[in-house]
Amino acid sequence: MLSLLRRFMKNQHGASMVEVTMVVTLIAVAAIASMRSVSSKVSIVLATLN
């Protein structure tokens, strides 16, 4: 059991996947926030054109 725990602690693939997931999540949140900001500004511009 202890050797299994040591092997698990040495394995870096799980940590890499967590890091990739965190980066992808951060990019998604930033994209959603920027789209909301841009969409409100586009709505204002289109409203002034009418």
More confident call, 28 vs 49: 28
What confidence tier does 9 reach under pLDDT thresholds 50, 70, 90?
low
Exposure letters 11-45 (e unless 16+ CB within 10 A, then b):
eeeeeeeeeeeeeeeeeeeeeeeeeeeeeeeeeee
CA geometry: angle 10, 13, 18, nearest 5 deg = 115
Position 4 pLDDT exceeds 80:
no
For the stretch 10-47, pLDDT in tens is 666 666 778 888 899 999 999 999 998 899 889 888 89
Q: Is the pTM of this model over 0.95?
A: no
